[in-house]
Structure 1
Amino acid sequence: MISVGVLGATGAVGQRFVQLLAGHPNFELSVLTASKRSAGKKYRDAASWRLEVPFPEDVGDIIVSDTTVESLKKVDLVFSALPADLAGEVEMQCAKAGIGVCSNASTYRMEPDVPLVVPEVNADHLGMIDLQRDKGTDGFIVTNPNCSTIMLTCSLAPLRTFSFSDIKVATMQAISGAGFEGIPGMAIFDNLIPYIGNEEEKMERETLKIMGTFDGAEVQNAPFSVSACCNRVPVIDGHSMSVWIDIKDQVEKVEKAFRTWKSTLPDLPTLPEKSVDYIDLPDRPQPRLDRMKGKGMTVSIGRVRPGIRYQAMGHNTIRGAAGASILNAEVICDRDYL
C-alpha cells in the first residue's frame, strides 16, 4: 500500500478526495490537512460532511494536521485540494521534499515542465516528471485540468482521427464547482450567471496543452483554436456543455467514433469501463440522470448533429476534480514514477 495524504481535506473537493480514497485498494489514506482552525481535531469533527454519500467512518479518527511539509513526512504521495493562492508554496515544498503531488489546483498547470494530464487523453505527458527530476526535484507535481476542460478534452479524444481547426464551447456548470460557500442561494436560484472568473481562459489554454504533443522536452500546443463561454446554472453536480467543432458533416462517422472509442489504459481502480459513453436519445445527457455513470468518472455524449455539434456532460467534483487526480496517481504508480 502507498501512504497518501489529502491537502485541504475539509473543503468540497477535499471531502470528495477522502470519500474516493477511503478503502482504495492501492492507497492508504494516512494524513489529512486543513487550516489551523481544524488542526488537532478528529476528521469527523473538523469536516462538516456535505456529500450525498455516507461519511467514511474508517477515516473519522484521523487527526487533522496543519498544512505543512512537516506533517507529511510519512506519506509518499499527496492529493492537493488547496486553493490556488495557497497551493504554490506548499506543493513545491512537497515536491522538493521527495513527495509526489497530484494537484487539482491551477497554480502549476501551465508550467512548461509540469504535466497537465487527463490519462485517457495524454498519459504520455507524464514523461515530464523526468524533466522535473533532471532539475534536482526528488518528488514531482502532476496536475489535472479545470473541471470543464476535463469534460471537453475527454469528448475530443475519440475525434483525433478527424481534421478540425476550431472549437467553440458553451458550458452550463454546476454550483458545486464554486465550493460549499461559493454562491449564495439568492444569487443562483431562479437564475443563470453568465460569468465564472478565469474559467473561459482556462478552457481555452489548457485544452491546447492537453491535446498537444510531448516530444520529450516540451509540449507543442495542439494546432487548433478554442473559444469558450462559461455559465453557472442551478444544478448541484454535473457540468454540461454544447460543443461546436468544424468537422465537415460526417455525423454517422462521428457518432461511430464516440460509440466505439476505448481508452488504452490498463485496468485501474478508478478507470471506468467507458470513459466516454454515447447516449442515443434526443434529450440526453442530463446531469441528474447521467452524472454518476462509471461511478462519476464517465463523460456522457449525445445529440451529434451536422456542423458538427454535440452535448457533453460529466460529474465535476469526481471526473472533473478528485477522481481525475486519483486516476492520475494510479497511472503514475503503474508506470513506476513513484
Structure 2
Amino acid sequence: MAEPIRAGILGATGAVGQRFIQALADHPWFEITSLAASERSAGKKYKNAANWRLDEKLPDEVADMEIVSVDPTKVDADVVFSALPSSLAKTVEADFAKKGFAVASNASAYRMEKDVPLVVPEVNADHLGLIEVQQDNRGWDGYIITNPNCSTIMLVATLKPLMKFGIQNVNVATMQAISGAGYEGVASMAILDNVIPYIGSEEEKMETEPLKLLGEFNGSEIIDADFKLSAACNRVPVMDGHTETVWITMRDDPTPEQVRQAFLNFNPHLGDLPTEPDQVLIVRDEPDRPQPRLDRNMGNGMSISVGRIREGIRYVLMGHNTIRGAAGASVLNAELLHKQGKL
C-alpha cells in the first residue's frame, strides 16, 4: 500500500476548516499531519482551540493534535488545504507555494489570476495544465489551484452539459444558506423571518468565474467562454444548501426533455476519485424538488440536484454549499492532482 499523502489544513478551526477535517479524517489517500490557525490558537490542542460545530464527533486523532501557526516552516505536509479568509490567503498561500507546497485553496484570492487554475474536476480538468505556466511565470517550486465560489460550482456543473447547445445568455437568482457566511456571519435577528437581497461581492464572482471555468485552455492561457451571465444573490434562513433558479437561452433552442437528458447523461469519468459522487447531477422530476432539507446530502453532499426543467429553458438546482461548494471541492481537486501525478 502506498504511503498516504501528508495533508495540512490552513484555517483549521473555522467552518470550512472543520469540513476539511471531516472530509480528510478517514480519507484513503490523505493523512492529516498539520492543523494551522491563528496565533491565538497556535500551541493549543485542537479540541481546546476549536468550537466544533458539525453534527458528528470530532475525530479522536485530530482532537489532540497541536495547532501550529500558519507558516510554511511550521506545517508538515505535502499538500495544504486553505480555508483562509481571502485577505490573508493572498499572502500566505503564495508563501506556501514558494516553499514547494501544493496549495488547494477554497479562498477567492487567486481564483481569477490568469495563471492559476480555477477548477471543478467534472467541468474543466484540463485547466490543471496552467500549473506549469504558473510555476514558469512565478518561479515557484509549488503551486496554487483554486475551486470557485460555492454558488458558482453548482451553476457551472449544470451549464457544462448544456454548452453543446450554444449557451448565449444565463440569468440566475440564488437563495443561499446562512452557513455560507460562517457561524457568526449573519446575526440571527437579521436573518430570521427575513430574506437579505445582498451578499457582498457574490454577484461579481458568479458573473465572472463561470466564464473562466467554461473557457478553453489553449496551452498557455484560458480563453473565456463567450456568453452573458447576470446574477442576483440572496441570503435566506436555511442552514445548509444553496438553491438557484436559472433562466438560459441557447442557440439550438433545446426542449426541456433534451436538457433533462443532457443532465442525466452528464457523467464525467475522473478515475474513481474517492470524493466523486456516483452521480454528479441528480435529476428530480417531482414538481417541488430539489429542496435543501431533502436533497443537500445526496452523494455525501457532493451531488447537485436539478429539477423543474421547463420551457424557456428554466430550471432549479441545489447543492450543499460547505461540502460540494467548499471543502469537498478542494479535496476533489487534490484527488485529481494526485491521479494526474502532480502530488
Give, in angstroms, the shift of residue 170 of structure 1.
0.1
Look up the SS of the partner of 1:4 in the other structure. Answer: strand
Asked if 1:332 corresponds to 2:337, the answer is: yes
What do residues 136-165 of structure 1 show as CA deviations (whole Å, max 9, x unaligned)? Answer: 211000000000000000111221221221
Structure 2 residue ranges without an equivalent (≥5): none
- 2:173 alignment partner AA: A
What do residues 43-102 of structure 1 show as CA deviations (whole Å, max 9, x unaligned)? Answer: 111110111222112211110011111112x31100000000100111001000000000
Corresponding position of 1:138:
141
- The counterpart of 2:8, out of the listed 5, 8, 12, is 5
- 1:320 alignment partner AA: G
Corresponding position of 2:114:
112
Asked if 1:196 corresponds to 2:205, the answer is: no
- 2:185 alignment partner AA: G
- 2:317 alignment partner AA: A
2:165–2:254 Cα contact (<8 Å) kept: no
Measure the CA separation in 2 of the matches of 1:203 and 1:173.
13
- The counterpart of 1:303, out of the listed 305, 308, 311, is 308
- The counterpart of 2:176, out of the listed 149, 173, 177, is 173
Asked if 1:45 corresponds to 2:48, the answer is: yes
Corresponding position of 1:260:
265
1:249–1:307 Cα contact (<8 Å) kept: no
Measure the CA separation in 1 of the matches of 2:286 and 2:254.
20
Corresponding position of 1:69:
72
1:249–1:306 Cα contact (<8 Å) kept: no
Look up the SS of the partner of 1:244 in the other structure. Answer: strand
Q: Which stretch shifts more, 260-269 or 17-26? A: 260-269
Look up the SS of the partner of 1:240 in the other structure. Answer: strand
Corresponding position of 2:294:
289
Look up the SS of the partner of 2:22 in the other structure. Answer: helix
Give, in angstroms, the shift of residue 264 of structure 1.
2.2
Give, in angstroms, the shift of residue 249 of structure 1.
5.0
Measure the CA separation in 2 of the matches of 1:277 and 1:71.
42
Asked if 1:99 corresponds to 2:101, the answer is: yes
- 1:296 alignment partner AA: G
Asked if 1:126 corresponds to 2:131, the answer is: no
The residue correspondences of 1:197-212 to structure 2 (distance < 5 A) are 197-212=200-215
Corresponding position of 2:323:
318
Q: Which stretch shifts more, 128-137 or 326-335? A: 128-137
Look up the SS of the partner of 1:171 in the other structure. Answer: strand
- 2:114 alignment partner AA: P
Structure 1 residue ranges without an equivalent (≥5): none
- 1:172 alignment partner AA: M
What do residues 251-278 of structure 1 show as CA deviations (whole Å, max 9, x unaligned)? Answer: 1111111122211211110000011111
- 2:313 alignment partner AA: I
Look up the SS of the partner of 1:30 in the other structure. Answer: strand
- 1:231 alignment partner AA: N
2:117–2:131 Cα contact (<8 Å) kept: yes
1:5–1:31 Cα contact (<8 Å) kept: yes
Corresponding position of 1:277:
282
Give, in angstroms, the shift of residue 193 of structure 1.
0.1
TM-score using structure 2 length:
0.97
Corresponding position of 1:56:
59
- Give RMSD over aligned pairs: 0.8
What do residues 90-146 of structure 1 show as CA deviations (whole Å, max 9, x unaligned)? Answer: 100100000000000000000000000000000100000011222321100000000
TM-score using structure 1 length:
0.98
Q: Which stretch shifts more, 157-166 or 188-197? A: 157-166
Q: Which runs of 4+ in 1 moved over 4 A?
A: none
Give, in angstroms, the shift of residue 312 of structure 1.
0.5
- The counterpart of 1:147, out of the listed 146, 150, 173, is 150
Look up the SS of the partner of 1:165 in the other structure. Answer: strand
Corresponding position of 1:216:
219
- 1:78 alignment partner AA: V
Q: Which stretch shifts more, 95-104 or 46-55? A: 46-55
- 1:251 alignment partner AA: P
